C-alpha cells in the first residue's frame, strides 16, 4: 500500500471522488481519516476467499447480497470513502446509490488482509473505527497474516468502536452474530495463506 498523503486533508471529499473516478482500473483509492490511500490489487487467494464467502452468504441468506465492489461513505460525518472487500446488505440494496453508498442498511463489511505494510493501521485500526462509527453491525476481518478470523460486532457509533470482538483461528467454526446470523466453517481458509 502506498500512502499518497499522510497529513490531515485539505481536500474536499468531492475532489477525492473526482480523483477516484478518474483512476485507472488497476488502482483503487480510499479516503480515510483525511488520507488518500491506494488499496492494493487483490491476489488470487484473496479473490478465492471473497468468492467462497459470497457463496456461503448466498447459501445461508439468499435474501442478502455480498457486494465486493460497492464503495461506502464512512468515517466522521461520512467524509470517508472506503471500498470494502465485501458489503452484506439486502438484495439490490445499493441499486441507484452510485459509486459511494450510504452505509445505512449494511449488515456487515468484510476485509481480507493483503500482504503489505499498512494492514495493521488500515484493516485492524482505521476500518473497524470507521465501520463502527457508521453503525455497521458486524465487521469481519479475515486476517491472512495471523491465520485468524476476527469478528467485530455491537457498534458504539458515538465511541467509534465495536463493543464485542471474537477471534478464532482458521479451521474453526465461526458464527457471525445477528443480524448476519451465518456460521462459517473456516477450514478452507488454510489453503489461501502464504
User: Which residue in 193, 177, 194, 175 sits closest to 185, CA to CA?
Assistant: 175
pLDDT at 8 over 90: no
Q: Tens digits of per-residue pLDDT, 34-52?
A: 666 665 656 789 999 999 9
Grid cell, residue 166, equals 471474537
7 in a structural domain: no
78 in a structural domain: yes
Query: What is the distance between the terminal CA atoms of the chain, rounded to a whole angstrom?
Result: 18
Q: What's the total number of domains in the chain?
A: 1
62 in a structural domain: yes
Q: Tens digits of per-residue pLDDT, 128-145?
A: 999 999 999 999 999 999
User: Which residue in 119, 15, 34, 27 sits closest to 75, CA to CA?
Assistant: 34
Average pLDDT over the chain reads 85
pLDDT at 26 over 60: no
Q: Tell me how far apart the alpha carbons of residues 35 and 180 are, in angstroms, rounded to a whole number.
A: 31
183 in a structural domain: yes
53 in a structural domain: yes
Split at pLDDT 50, 70, 90, the class of 32 is low
89 in a structural domain: yes
pLDDT at 109 over 70: yes
CATH number of the domain to which 186 belongs = 3.90.1570.10
This prediction has a pTM of 0.79
16 in a structural domain: no
Q: Tens digits of per-residue pLDDT, 51-86?
A: 999 999 999 999 999 999 999 999 765 578 899 999
159 in a structural domain: yes
Range of the domain at 93: 43-192
Amino acid at each position: 500500500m502506498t500512502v499518497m498523503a499522510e497529513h490531515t486533508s485539505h481536500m474536499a471529499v468531492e475532489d477525492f471522488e473526482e480523483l477516484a473516478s478518474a483512476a485507472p482500473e488497476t488502482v483503487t483509492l480510499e479516503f480515510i481519516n483525511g488520507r488518500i490511500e491506494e488499496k492494493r490489487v487483490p491476489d488470487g487467494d484473496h479473490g478465492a476467499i471473497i468468492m467462497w464467502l459470497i457463496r456461503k452468504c448466498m447459501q445461508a441468506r439468499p435474501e442478502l447480497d455480498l457486494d465486493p465492489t460497492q464503495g461506502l461513505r464512512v468515517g466522521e460525518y461520512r467524509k470517508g470513502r472506503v471500498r470494502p472487500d465485501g458489503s452484506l446488505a439486502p438484495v439490490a440494496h445499493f441499486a441507484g446509490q452510485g459509486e459511494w453508498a450510504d452505509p445505512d442498511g449494511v449488515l456487515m463489511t468484510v476485509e481480507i488482509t493483503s500482504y503489505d505494510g499498512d494492514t495493521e493501521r488500515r484493516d485492524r485500526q482505521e476500518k473497524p473505527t470507521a465501520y463502527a462509527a457508521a453503525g455497521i453491525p458486524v465487521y469481519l476481518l479475515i486476517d491472512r497474516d495471523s491465520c485468524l478470523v476476527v469478528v467485530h460486532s455491537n457498534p458504539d457509533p458515538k465511541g467509534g468502536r465495536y463493543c464485542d470482538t471474537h477471534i478464532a483461528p482458521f479451521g474453526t467454526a465461526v458464527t457471525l452474530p445477528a443480524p448476519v446470523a451465518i456460521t462459517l466453517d473456516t477450514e478452507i481458509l488454510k489453503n489461501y495463506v502464504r
